[in-house]
Amino acid sequence: MNCVLLGFIVLGAFLGLLSEGASTSRPRVIKVGAIFGLNTMYGQTASLAFKAAEEDVNSDLSFLGGSKLRIMISDAQRSGFLSIMGALQFMETDVVAIIGPQTSIMAHVLSHLANELTVPMLSFTALDPTLSPLQFPFFVQTAPNDLFLMRAIAEMITYYGWSDVVALYNDDDNSRNGVTALGDELEERRCKISYKAVLPLDVVITSPAEIIEELTKIRGMESRIIVVNTFPNTGKMIFEEAERLGMMEKGYVWIATTWLSSLVDSDLPLDLKSLNGVLTLRLHTPDSRKKRDFVARWKKNKTIGLNVYGLYAYDTVWIIAQAVKSFLEAGGNLTFSHDAKLSNLKGEALNLSALSRFDEGPQLLDYIMRTKMSGLTGPVQFHRDRSMAQPSYDIINVVDGGFRQIGYWSNHSGLSTVPPESFYNKPSNRSSSNQHLNSVTWPGGTSVTPRGWVFPNNGKLLRIGVPNRASFKDFVSRVNGSSNHKVQGYCIDVFEAAVKLLSYPVPHEFIFFGDGLQNPNYNDLVNKVANGVDFDAAVGDIAIVTKRTRIVDYTQPYIESGLVVVAPVTALNENPWAFLRPFTPPMWAVTASFFMVVGAVIWILEHRTNDEFRGPPRRQIITILWFTFSTMFFSHRENTTSTLGRMVLLIWLFVVLIITSSYTASLTSMLTVQQLNSPIKGVDTLISSSGRIGFQVGSFAENYMIDELNIARSRLVALGSPQEYATALQNGTVSAIVDERPYVDLFLSDYCKFAIRGQEFTRCGWGFAFPRDSPLAVDMSTAILGLSETGELQRIHDRWLSKSNCSSPHGSQSGDSEQLNVHSFWGMFLVCGIACLVALFIHFVKVVRNFIKHKPEEEEKDIPSPESSRLKKLQTFLAYIDEKEEESKRRFKRKRSSLSMNANSSISSRQV
- Indicate the CATH number of 146-287+391-434 among 3.40.50.1820, 3.40.1050.10, 3.40.50.2300, 3.40.50.300: 3.40.50.2300
Predicted pLDDT at 636: 47
- Classified by CATH at the fold level, domain 567-571+677-763 comes out as D-Maltodextrin-Binding Protein; domain 2 (3.40.190)
Predicted pLDDT at 5: 38
Q: How far is CA 891 from the centre of its chain?
A: 92
Predicted pLDDT at 848: 74
Predicted pLDDT at 245: 93
If pLDDT is split at 50, 70 and 90, which confidence band does 859 have? very low
Q: Kindly report, residue by residue over 348-371, the tens digit of the pLDDT.
A: 555 555 678 898 999 999 999 999
Predicted pLDDT at 165: 95
Q: Are strands 570-571 and 676-677 parallel, antiparallel or unpaired?
A: antiparallel
In contact, 740 and 699? CB cutoff 8 Å: yes
Q: Establish how many alpha carbons lie within 13 A of residue 552's alpha carbon, considering only the half-sphere containing its beta carbon.
A: 31
pLDDT at 812 over 80: no
Q: Kindly report, residue by residue over 97-141, the tens digit of the pLDDT.
A: 999 899 998 999 999 989 989 999 999 999 999 998 889 999 999
In contact, 138 and 118? CB cutoff 8 Å: yes
Name the phi and psi angles at 797, rounded to 5. -60, -45
Which of the 8 DSSP states describes residue 224? -
Predicted pLDDT at 19: 39
Q: Kindly report, residue by residue over 248-292, the tens digit of the pLDDT.
A: 999 999 999 999 999 999 988 888 888 999 999 999 999 999 999
Q: How far is CA 78 from the centre of its chain?
A: 48
E strand or H helix that includes residue 201: none
Q: What is the pTM of this model?
A: 0.68
Q: What is the DSSP string of 314-358?
A: HHHHHHHHHHHHHHHHTT----EEE-HHHHT---SS--GGG-EEE
Greater confidence (503 vs 57) lies with: 57
Predicted pLDDT at 651: 76
In contact, 627 and 602? CB cutoff 8 Å: yes
Predicted pLDDT at 29: 92
Q: What is the DSSP string of 56-84?
A: HHHHSTTTTTT-EEEEEEEE-TT-HHHHH
The secondary structure of 483-535, three-state, reads CCCCEECHHHHHHHHHHHCCCCCCCEEEEEECCCCCCCCHHHHHHHHHHCCCC
- Indicate the CATH number of 462-560+772-791 among 3.40.50.11890, 3.40.190.10, 3.40.50.2300, 3.40.640.10: 3.40.190.10
Predicted pLDDT at 2: 43
User: Which residues face 68 on adjacent strands?
Assistant: 29
For the ranges 544-548, 633-637, 692-696, 707-711, the lowest mean pLDDT is seen at: 633-637
Greater confidence (175 vs 667) lies with: 175
Predicted pLDDT at 682: 81
Give the Cα separation of 903 and 590 in Å (integer).
Answer: 58
Q: What is the DSSP string of 241-303?
A: HHHHTT-SSTT-EEEE-HHHHHHHHTT----GGGGTT-EEEEE-----HHHHHHHHHHHHT-S
- Give the other-Cβ count within 10 Å of 241's Cβ: 18
Single-letter residue type at 201 = L
Q: Which long-range contacts (CB under 8 A, 24 or more apart) does 698-702 make?
A: 698/467, 698/518, 698/519, 698/520, 698/521, 698/522, 699/519, 699/522, 699/543, 699/739, 699/740, 700/522, 700/523, 700/543, 700/545, 700/547, 701/563, 701/738, 701/739, 701/740
Mean pLDDT throughout 464-488? 85
The length of the chain in residues reads 912
Mean pLDDT throughout 759-788? 91
In contact, 835 and 601? CB cutoff 8 Å: no
- Indicate the CATH number of 29-142+301-380 among 3.40.50.2300, 3.60.15.10, 3.30.1360.120, 3.40.190.10: 3.40.50.2300
Q: Is 615 left (phi over 0), alpha (psi -120 to 50) or beta?
A: left
* Nearest Cα residue to 423 out of 390, 387, 388: 390
In contact, 735 and 715? CB cutoff 8 Å: no
In contact, 200 and 169? CB cutoff 8 Å: no
Greater confidence (834 vs 29) lies with: 29
Predicted pLDDT at 861: 43
Mean pLDDT of the chain: 82
Alpha carbon of 446 to those of 240, 253, 755: distances in Å?
A: 20, 11, 59
The secondary structure of 128-158, three-state, reads CCCCCCCCCCCEEECCCCHHHHHHHHHHHHH
Give the Cα separation of 235 and 118 in Å (integer).
Answer: 36
Q: Is 479 helix (H, G, I), strand (E, B) or coil?
A: coil
In contact, 658 and 826? CB cutoff 8 Å: no
Please, which residues have CB within 8 angstroms of residue 154's CB and are 6 or more apart in sequence?
182, 185, 186, 188, 189, 191
CA–CA–CA angle 110, 112, 118 (5° rounding):
100
Predicted pLDDT at 773: 82
* Nearest Cα residue to 510 out of 531, 521, 525, 523: 525
Which of the 8 DSSP states describes residue 892? H
- Sign for the pseudo-dihedral over CA of 43, 48, 51, 56: negative
Helix, strand, coil distribution of the chain in percent, nearest 5: 45, 15, 35
Single-letter residue type at 105 = I
Single-letter residue type at 637 = R
Q: Which of the residue ranges 86-95, 395-404, 579-588, 817-826 has the most confident prediction, judged by mean pLDDT?
A: 395-404
Please, which residues have CB within 8 angstroms of residue 207's CB and are 6 or more apart in sequence?
none
Q: Kindly report, residue by residue over 630-642, the tens digit of the pLDDT.
A: 655 544 445 555 6
* Nearest Cα residue to 424 out of 308, 602, 286, 332: 286
User: Which residues face 889 on adjacent strands?
Assistant: none
Mean pLDDT throughout 389-410? 93
Q: Which long-range contacts (CB under 8 A, 24 or more apart) does 430-435 make?
A: 435/155, 435/159
Give the Cα separation of 234 and 229 in Å (integer).
Answer: 10
E strand or H helix that includes residue 831: helix 826-854
pLDDT at 144 over 70: yes
Alpha carbon of 566 to those of 713, 754, 758, 878: distances in Å?
A: 19, 7, 9, 67
Predicted pLDDT at 453: 87
Q: Are strands 716-719 and 164-170 parallel, antiparallel or unpaired?
A: unpaired
